[in-house]
């Protein structure tokens, strides 16, 4: 029945009058509610008929899309994504990690004041009565809230969480930046002897990146206390250190000259300090002024210990001490790190120099579309975040963690594989009839296979032709077929065909007794 | 540094004046922005100090909770949940299912008019500029939207999706009803010969419930077209069929008398029809009036075919044809089903009769807290939902599916297991030092184990005592320990101890050469 705006309008009017009448008659509330529901539905139909999409001949029409900055993942993309997740999770579990789950939205006040300038990117839920809530912006703050709530049980925990987070950012989808995206966090919470947990987290980061097979990577490490010490030594006033840190953190995203301008002109830092970059590293331990600074000294001691442990873990070769690394988020208090791969970092010029180190003039020659997807994993120590939620100092729990950039890993892998070649389903056996359809026999055999734990399918057709059934096996890369015909069934036999060997032709394969079928299939599937 | 409301207020005033001054001086925008960020942060600190929680001596204080109707899941609960998910997913995969992922929120208009009266339970996102979005209410409508968007590629697909959905319902947490909860959907989309896919979906439902090991269950089946036919034959006007269906659907939730009252008094159905319930079943095929009704006849033919296929699949014994089943949602068009277990259904009285069948007087004796968690799985055929999104009739794709009530499964399992006994982490080997701490050696050995794929931990302490290290093994149920002492190390040996056998005492175990350690551990872990 074609619904027209006119017929709807008439119906809505009629329904409205019915409800008025019922109310006038003092009818039971549930009766009126039922009629109201009908009215509501009619009105919704009307809204969708006459909505923004225009009134196209009275046919229902929706904007068929996902919200800005979000997307669907089809079955082939999901197969890759699940591979990424299971690879990472198996590394986490190797280190004794457990997982927890927190709600996708938190009380608004829980997220307030945790993200500095980025707070404006938080999604709020509409006030529909009740509490004010916001979608989580990351997994770290909810984890800290969880620890503060359950502190007594969690004096220490190694936890991972892989879940979606939400940011009202300007999406740049081709680079893997979205408004809804997965984060994949591993954190160790608890009071321990210095730098041991920190070193294991860096080791885990390294194991994940190696296991994901996304090419060469470097883990850049720095220490907030060293940065703070440098700023103090340079006479940067306390309240300006955070804004300057966030300028330092832009080093790999903006041309260096631009950052220096921001640090020097806007934020008032001495150009000499801003410009010394990596060369500062070798001097740090010799620098008497710096060593005299309590914060810098403490950071340098941490780094020395960390490097010793990383050497024991056999990953020192992957590490680079990089004073230009600052990490944007406010809550870091100790070591900070960020992994970049050749594919994720900023593009290099012909001479192998990173573009960010070149002058403004050079960087203008860049093709934006070749810019990498940024860091592939990052994290650090945040010793005070849990305390922000705790009612007493005793409730604080220091933490150190890493976030693996699974969306970026995913982008890199997508560039490497031919998506159409990805086998999304895991079907092992396709049950085929050579004649007469034999639907009930195909169903019976499939049920037998399922009950034996074999992944099997058949065609949802009473009398399928032979060729389309073989085509499914080809298209879905199904390795084995059980082929049945009237004669075989009468003899109590079925034919098994290995679809991976093309030589046999359609008539190929070999016959087995029905009661040997399961065993034979399992043998060929390596399941025995 | 203790932050007091007074000191904050002063700082905020000062900061505000600084910004005013900068603006007056026509300062650079980025400079003003940096100062604004500091102001914003101060104001947030102030908000959290003077918020609803009251001004308790100037100490930061948050309402430490998750939003109403949501909760965290700790590592032991997650271990159970992941077991539930992997059990179900392996059933889905056995039937050739793939998975897709859709965003947690959709454009508001996508969800409009899909859920009848329940639309009021949809969570909207705040309008922060841009599109109007709502959190998904189920996984079915987003799946239909996905199919309509990608119709060309998906003329048929078997897909599952396990993800959270959101409903602003009055939570009854003890019964497993929440505002944020997981749904676990399996659907088959495509045009096939009748009832074959439907039968496989019911088979999958049965396999899932069996694999989950939650006790005996019954799958109640009905057909929307039979219900529609009955209502038509009884002379129920077309526009009243849906409200009446939803009354029928409450049979297992409200006392029968109450439903009958609603159907008879509020919705104007002849009491004779409402009262015939299950007894109608046997008469249906004989009932000439019903067979003459096109809708009823078509539904009855479907049911006959379905029952034949379910017999082939060997699950007819689990099925009950139940005319009182109607399912609330508007979009079902064919068979509908719902599984109940003894633990999930309404409680029974002493005589084994379901309470809903008893008179109002009896039901008043009920202890509400003993009421079960409702149906454990449910679904049906919905042939027109995708068409609501498609721009042409050709774009429609008929679907049939099932939703496994994983939250209810989870509640039932939680009652069965002792949560403290659940092993959440998977650590296989704990590396222990008997003296001197030997931190670096423990780290070296752990790195060796990790690199060999063995799940291992050590204590994050420079000089741990022996007993606490053994306690970790006990508490975490870690099966093996590698024990090192200065002497063993000098001899190039380590001691391996099986922590599951208590007899040996702390000194037990046996020594192996360092280079045999990995092999020996793998042997004992069944990894060779």
Question: Which of A14, A103, A155 is the best residue to mutate to test the B interface, defined by the most B CB atoms within 10 Å of its own CB?
Answer: A103
Query: Cβ separation of A116 and B37 shorter than 8 Å?
Result: yes
Is residue A218 annotated as involved in ligand binding? no
Q: How far is A221 from chain B (nearest CA, A)?
A: 20
Q: How far is B502 from chain A (nearest CA, A)?
A: 23
Cβ contacts of B281 within 8 Å, gap of 6 or more: B321, B323
Mean pLDDT value of segment B71-91: 95
Range with lowest mean pLDDT among A240-249, B117-126, B133-142, B501-510:
A240-249
Q: Is B521 helix (H, G, I), strand (E, B) or coil?
A: helix
Q: What confidence score (pLDDT) does residue B46 get?
A: 66
DSSP state of A66: P
Partners of residue A109 in chain B, C-beta under 8 Å:
47-48, 51, 62-63
Decide if pLDDT at A192 tops 90.
yes
Query: Cβ separation of A116 and B146 shorter than 8 Å?
Result: no
Mean pLDDT value of segment A277-296: 71
pLDDT tens digits, one per residue of A110-123 = 998 888 778 889 99
- Joined tokens for residue B74: 């700790």
Partners of residue B173 in chain A, C-beta under 8 Å:
none
Other CB atoms within 10 Å distance of the CB of residue A265:
13
For chain A, percent of residues with pLDDT exceeding 70: 74
The full DSSP string for A189-201 is ES--STTHHHHHH
B376 alpha-carbon distance from chain centroid = 12
B462 CB within 8 Å of a chain A CB? yes
pLDDT tens digits, one per residue of B439-498 = 999 999 999 999 999 999 999 999 999 999 999 999 999 999 999 999 999 999 999 999
Q: How far is A256 from chain B (nearest CA, A)?
A: 17
Alpha carbon distance A87, A85 (integer Å): 5
A407 CB within 8 Å of a chain B CB? no
E strands, B42-108, are 98-99, 105-107
Q: Is B351 helix (H, G, I), strand (E, B) or coil?
A: coil
Range with lowest mean pLDDT among A384-393, B38-47, B78-87:
B38-47
Is residue A140 annotated as involved in ligand binding? yes
Chain A nearest-CA residue for B181: A103
Q: What confidence score (pLDDT) does residue B103 get?
A: 98
Q: Residue B29 — pLDDT band, cuts 50, 70, 90?
A: low
DSSP state of A126: P
Decide if pLDDT at B54 tops 90.
no
Mean pLDDT value of segment B409-433: 90
Q: What confidence score (pLDDT) does residue B73 get?
A: 95
Alpha carbon distance B61, B5 (integer Å): 13
A453 CB within 8 Å of a chain B CB? yes
Decide if pLDDT at A46 tops 70.
no
Q: How far is B455 from chain A (nearest CA, A)?
A: 4
Q: Is A396 helix (H, G, I), strand (E, B) or coil?
A: coil
Query: Cβ separation of A443 and B312 shorter than 8 Å?
Result: yes
Q: Residue B347 — pLDDT band, cuts 50, 70, 90?
A: very low
Alpha carbon distance B193, A513 (integer Å): 30
**A526 vs B364: which has the higher pLDDT:** A526
Alpha helices in B463-505 (DSSP H): 466-475, 486-490
If contacts are CB pairs under 8 Å, which of residues 16-45 in chain B contact chain A? 28, 30-31, 33-34, 37-38, 40-41, 44-45
Kind of pairing between the strands at B157-166 and B180-189: antiparallel
Q: What confidence score (pLDDT) does residue B9 get?
A: 75
Decide if the complex's ipTM is over 0.85.
no
Other CB atoms within 10 Å distance of the CB of residue B268:
14
Q: What is the mean pLDDT of chain B?
A: 80
Nearest-CA neighbor of B37 among A101, A266, A243?
A243
The phi, psi pair for A189, rounded to 5°, reads -110, 140
CB neighbour burial string for A55-68, b if at least 16 within 10 angstroms, e if fewer: eeeeebbbebebbe
Q: Which residues pair with B158 in a beta bridge?
A: B188
DSSP state of A262: I
């Amino acid at each position: 029945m074609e619904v027209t705006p006119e017929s709807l309008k008439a119906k809505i009017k009629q329904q409205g009058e019915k409800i008025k009448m019922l109310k006038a008659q003092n009818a039971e509330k549930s009766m009126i509610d039922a009629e109201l529901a009908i009215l509501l539905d009619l009105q919704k139909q009307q809204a969708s008929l006459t909505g923004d999409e225009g009134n196209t001949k009275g046919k229902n029409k929706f904007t068929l899309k996902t919200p800005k900055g979000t997307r669907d993942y089809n079955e082939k993309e999901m197969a890759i994504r699940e591979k990424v997740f299971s690879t990472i999770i198996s590394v986490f579990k190797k280190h004794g990690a457990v997982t927890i789950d927190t709600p996708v939205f938190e009380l608004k006040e829980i997220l307030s004041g945790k993200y500095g300038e980025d707070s404006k990117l938080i999604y709020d839920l509409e006030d529909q009565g009740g509490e004010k809530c916001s979608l989580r912006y990351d997994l770290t703050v909810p984890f800290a809230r969880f620890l503060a709530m359950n502190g007594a049980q969690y004096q220490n925990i190694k936890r991972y969480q892989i879940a979606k987070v939400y940011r009202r950012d300007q999406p740049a989808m081709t680079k893997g930046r979205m408004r809804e995206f997965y984060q994949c966090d591993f954190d160790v919470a608890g009071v321990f002897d210095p730098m041991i947990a920190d070193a294991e987290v860096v080791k885990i980061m390294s194991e994940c990146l190696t296991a994901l097979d996304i090419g060469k990577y470097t883990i850049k490490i720095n220490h907030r206390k060293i940065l703070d010490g440098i700023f103090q030594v340079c006479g940067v006033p306390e309240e300006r250190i955070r804004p300057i840190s966030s300028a330092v953190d832009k080093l790999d995203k903006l041309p260096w000259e631009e950052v220096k301008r921001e640090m020097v002109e806007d934020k008032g830092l001495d150009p000499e300090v801003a410009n010394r970059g990596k060369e500062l590293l070798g001097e740090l331990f010799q620098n008497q002024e710096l060593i005299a600074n309590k914060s810098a000294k403490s950071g340098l001691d941490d780094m020395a210990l960390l490097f010793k442990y990383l050497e024991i873990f056999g990953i020192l070769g992957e590490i680079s001490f990089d004073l230009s690394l600052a990490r944007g988020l406010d809550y870091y208090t100790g070591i900070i790190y960020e992994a970049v791969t050749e594919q994720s970092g900023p593009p290099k010029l012909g001479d192998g120099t990173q573009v960010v180190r070149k002058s403004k003039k050079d960087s203008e020659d860049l093709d934006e579309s070749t810019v990498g997807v940024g860091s592939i994993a990052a994290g650090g120590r945040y010793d005070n975040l849990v305390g922000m939620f705790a009612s007493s100092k005793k409730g604080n729990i220091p933490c150190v963690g890493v976030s693996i950039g699974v969306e970026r890993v995913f982008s890199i892998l997508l560039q490497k594989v031919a998506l159409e070649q990805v086998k999304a389903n895991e079907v092992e056996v396709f049950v085929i009839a050579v004649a007469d359809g034999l639907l009930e026999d195909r169903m019976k055999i499939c049920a037998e296979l399922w009950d034996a734990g074999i992944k099997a399918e058949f065609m949802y057709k009473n009398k399928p032709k032979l060729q389309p059934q073989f085509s499914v096996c080809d298209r879905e890369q199904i390795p084995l077929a059980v082929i049945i015909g009237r004669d075989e069934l009468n003899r109590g036999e079925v034919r098994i065909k290995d679809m991976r060997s093309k030589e046999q032709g359609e008539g190929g394969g070999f016959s087995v007794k029905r009661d040997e079928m399961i065993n034979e299939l399992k043998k060929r599937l390596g399941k025995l």
